[in-house]
Chain A
């Protein structure tokens, strides 16, 4: 699935990395615990989270993730956006809650081996 499709499905606003929207991702994960992301995530390219701090971006960068979606309308600080940009990560935010955001992506086939 293209990152631009994720943006469309989640009605999300892109905060940085707009030049990478045509890149493909094949799976996603959702957590507010970066500990768990570091311990359990394998090759998921997309991180959905309601946590709002710089460690979200560093965790994603360490895991080679390419896209972060802030859920529940959380607005990252300018520092976070700058960090994501520096790391080449697409960052977007959506008003949807985590449950619905994940549901929409899953329903559309992301992470089910169909895209």
Chain B
């Protein structure tokens, strides 16, 4: 058992144009570490969807990634509005995004289901008015 590898990224909620920078940086790190393209793609898509959500729904947050021998764990934490009905939010096509977000190419209500699809485990801890923490695991 080797020491877990950890990466930390701040996700700026003010700037849509820079959204996804953390995901790009993580992807580069995973490439350097030599993970398979399949693992890298799963982690990248899940992380990017989550990062975009933090920017468009929660005014930013932090991303922590931990890599151990058998898994990559992504923890996305924000102090945004929280999710009132998680079951509803997990449904394909459910979105509270308005037209200004759609004009940017997002807000189809596909992000959370996609994060679930590309990871082996996903847990959402959320409280309205307090924030949301999403933990995703990709097994190696």
- Cβ-defined contact, A56 with B20, below 8 A: no
Give the segment of B45-53, B60-68, B81-89, B130-138 that binds chain A. B45-53
- Cβ-defined contact, B110 with A39, below 8 A: yes
With the chains together, A33 CA to B111 CA distance in Å? Answer: 12
Bin chain B's interface residue count.
Answer: 20 to 34
With the chains together, A36 CA to B95 CA distance in Å? Answer: 13
Choose one: A33, A38, A55, A56; the contact of B114 (CB below 8 Å): A38
- Cβ-defined contact, A64 with B17, below 8 A: no
- Cβ-defined contact, A62 with B17, below 8 A: no
For window 30-48 of B, CB contacts with A under 8 Å fall at 37, 41, 44-45, 48
Query: How distant is B123 from chain A, measured CB to nearest CB, in Å?
Result: 21
- Dominant secondary structure at the B interface: helix
Known A-B contacts A54-B17, A58-B23, A61-B27; the reply to A35 vs B105 at CB < 8 A is yes
- Cβ-defined contact, B105 with A56, below 8 A: yes
- Cβ-defined contact, A36 with B27, below 8 A: no
Let me know if B124 is at the binding interface, CB within 8 A.
no
Choose one: A39, A53, A62, A64; the contact of B113 (CB below 8 Å): A39
- B residues with a Cβ closer than 8 A to A are 16-21, 23-24, 27, 37, 41, 44-45, 48-49, 52, 102, 104-111, 113-114
- A residues with a Cβ closer than 8 A to B are 32-36, 38-39, 51, 53-56, 58-59, 61-64, 79, 87
